[in-house]
Amino acid sequence: KLAAGEYGAEQPGRVMAHFGRTLEVRDTSHQPVRCHLRANLDGLVTGDRVIWRAGQEGSGVVVAREERDSVLKRPDARGQLKPVAANIDQLLIVFAVEPAPHPNLIDRYLVAAEATGITPVLVLNKTDLLPDDGGELGTLLERYRALGYPVVRTTTANDAGLDALRQQLEGRTSVFVGQSGVGKSSLIDRLLPDETLRIGALSEDSRKGTHTTTTARLYAMRSDEVANGELIDSPGIREFGLIHLDEQDVTEGFIELRPFIGHCRFRDCRHRAEPGCALLDAVEAGKIHPERFASYRRILDSLDA
Ligand code: GDP
Ligand code: ZN
């Protein structure tokens, strides 16, 4: 038993949620502990791996943050990019059979994902609405699979519809992003059926006056199907993808263009009609899909506008 002002040994944990300088940290046996931040620490976000020490009455103090593998950022009220979640392994970009995505939209999401360095995964939801032959969307997604992107098909309409998704979540920390109406809430509800899990362990009073609806929360997915999957979610995170991109982000975000960049005859080549353009030559030679290239140029043009 610890006396006042006394702290236990240092141990690893992970930030599940934060409310100002109060953090909900999960210990290695997945128990939540309410921690405060040591004075010299700042800017911790959900998903951070931390070192903490137990104090009195089930509380603790976070004394250090471990190096982050990845960071997801969102613009704040002043348009400044701020970290909102850390140590994410994959961005699940959700699309639906209805409303059908514009192909350009998939590319925009992939460009934004590539800019974060977090692995994007395409999730096609509402497959119960797909025609038997798979439809145009099926063909389109095969193109992305050929580029190396994982593609998962889901439906919340029956029990088997989430099996592939559960496999994709196993052993990783994931976030769901995508346009409204594609079924993100429905998918998450099915993955996290336990209401108490979703609300979290911190008592109501510690949240008063804080922005609970905008800060991200980490959920452990523990079921017969997923033993070790983690989900980080917040309304703001779901809107990821609508961030500002610059020209370099866009060019590097089309991964199949990368081998050809820097090989154009003119150093300032804009890959439109210039002679000796390595990208146009690659499209001509069938090494880059013409629709992906058209999409690339459309996104570039939208930056100029
Ligand atoms: P969100 O805005 O991305 O969170 O989307 P919601 O989860 O709110 O879903 C939007 C609508 O799509 C709701 O009416 C859902 O019932 C419906 N929906 C979600 N998943 C499926 C699915 O797999 N199949 C069908 N047919 N409808 C779905
Ligand atoms: Zn060029």
Give all domains of the chain, ordered by start, each with its CATH number. Answer: 10-65 (2.40.50.140), 71-238 (3.40.50.300), 247-304 (1.10.40.50)
Residue 203 has pLDDT above 50, yes or no: no
* Mean pLDDT (whole number) for 112-133: 92
Determine the Cα–Cα distance for residues 280 and 286; give it in Å rounded to an integer. 10
Q: Which atom of ligand 1 is nearest to the CA of 180?
A: 2
Determine the Cα–Cα distance for residues 167 and 134; give it in Å rounded to an integer. 22
| pLDDT the model gives residue 57 | 82
Ligand nearest to the CA of 272: 2
Q: Is 99 in the pocket of ligand 1 (CB under 6 A)?
A: no
Q: Which atom of ligand 1 is nearest to the CA of 125?
A: 23
**Complex prediction ipTM:** 0.98
- Return the closest-CA partner of residue 86 out of 117, 109, 40, 120: 117
Nearest CA to ligand 1 atom 6: 183
Q: Which parts of the chain are beta strand (E)?
A: 10-19, 22-26, 32-37, 49-54, 59-65, 71-75, 81-86, 90-96, 119-125, 151-153, 173-177, 217-221, 229-233
- pTM (2 decimals)? 0.91
| pLDDT the model gives residue 209 | 46
What is the number of other CB atoms lying within 10 angstroms of the CB of residue 61?
20
| pLDDT the model gives residue 202 | 52
Percentage of the residues of the chain whose pLDDT score is greater than 70: 91
| Residue from 156, 158, 239 to probe ligand 1 pocket by mutation (most atoms less than 8 Å from CB) | 156
| pLDDT the model gives residue 214 | 58
221 - beta bridge partners? 229
Q: Is 255 in the pocket of ligand 1 (CB under 6 A)?
A: no
Rg, Å, the chain Cα set? 22
Percentage of the residues of the chain whose pLDDT score is greater than 90: 60
Ligand nearest to the CA of 187: 1
* Mean pLDDT (whole number) for 183-189: 94
In the block, which residue shows the tokens 């509402």?
126
| pLDDT the model gives residue 71 | 94
With beta carbons less than 8 A apart as the criterion, state whether 115 and 137 touch: no
| Residue from 156, 162, 186 to probe ligand 1 pocket by mutation (most atoms less than 8 Å from CB) | 186
- Return the closest-CA partner of residue 85 out of 250, 222, 302, 239: 239
Residue 135 has pLDDT above 70, yes or no: yes
Q: Is 186 in the pocket of ligand 1 (CB under 6 A)?
A: yes
Residue 221 has pLDDT above 90, yes or no: no
Q: Is 130 in the pocket of ligand 1 (CB under 6 A)?
A: no
| pLDDT the model gives residue 207 | 47
Q: Could you tell me the pLDDT band of residue 213, with boundaries at 50, 70 and 90?
A: very low
| pLDDT the model gives residue 205 | 45
Q: Is 157 in the pocket of ligand 1 (CB under 6 A)?
A: yes
Q: Could you tell me the pLDDT band of residue 198, with boundaries at 50, 70 and 90?
A: low
Q: Is 129 in the pocket of ligand 1 (CB under 6 A)?
A: yes
Q: Could you tell me the pLDDT band of residue 134, with boundaries at 50, 70 and 90?
A: confident
pLDDT digits (tens, 9 = 90+) for 42-100: 889 999 999 999 998 889 999 999 999 999 998 888 888 889 999 999 999 999 999 99
